[in-house]
Amino acid sequence: MDVTQYLLRIRYQGPAQPSLETLRCLHHCHLSSVPFESLSIHCREPIALALPLLYDKIVRRHRGGFCFELNGLFLWLLQTLGFGAKAVAGRVRNPFTGRYGPPLDHMVILVQLEGRSFLCDVGFGEGFLEPLELKPGTEHVQKGGIFWLGNKGGIWVLERREVPGKEGRPLYQFTLEEKKLDDFAGMCSYHQTSPSSIFPCKSFCSLRKEDGGRLTYMGWRLISTAGEKRTETALQSSEIPAILHEKFGVRLEGDFKPKDKEIVLPPEED
């Protein structure tokens, strides 16, 4: 871990001592600098959950990744800086199928700071911009969305709301049991191969914009959102590598093949 290079990668220039303000700024900078993407899968680049490999890919090669990669590396940074942070596991509600994924489907980070607990997640496409204090029944209004956390029987649920005070759309559920990076190895393989996972079915790259919206490449489309406004541009296959470099700072090294295939419904889970 070269902390200086990591902070340069996410364009963070503030103090590095553990504090709530530092955590907020690191989280914000990460989301606006490192894309959430599935491109390795569509370049036939195997993904392995080894921290030196993740550091090389994200920091040195200026790539992004999915939750295990992004949150795994961000957790390492937080712990190196002295934050009391741990990984916990969740299950994502697939926006295309409406089903929750298998156990250990998603990795998120829990930070203990100033006597409080905060949820961090830099590896989720529709996620929150700033860490969320872990308080059940609390709405968090941020630039780019309203987020609500609930807890029932030890299972926490993150929900995105369109209107304050009104029930919204669940994004994922999680528990507070600590996990290690190796615990996610099986699901890392699943998300590279399963027809029920978005990652092998759709080639995409998504980055948070400073106005709270998102810029997303998917398949043969470039999608920009800002509040209620959404624009979509059709792309030719030959245009995509240049778009990825110009808009996301990503240079692909393998034989990239765009993809936008329907996701197969997963088996019902209890």
Active site members: 67, 106, 121
Q: Which residue has the tokens 């987020």?
A: 147
Here the tokens at position 203 are 């080639």
SS3 labels along 193-262: HCCCCHHHHECEEEEECCCCCEEEEECCEEEEEECCEEEEEECCHHHHHHHHHHHHCCCCCCCCCCCECC
Going by their DSSP bridges, the two strands 155-161 and 116-120 should be labelled as unpaired
With contact defined as beta carbons under 8 Å apart, do 39 and 63 qualify?
yes
Count of all residues that appear for the chain in the document: 270
CA gap 209, 140 in Å, rounded: 19
R_g (Cα) of the chain, nearest Å = 18
CA gap 203, 37 in Å, rounded: 8
CA gap 26, 78 in Å, rounded: 9
3-state secondary structure of 141: strand
CA gap 270, 268 in Å, rounded: 7
With contact defined as beta carbons under 8 Å apart, do 176 and 110 qualify?
yes
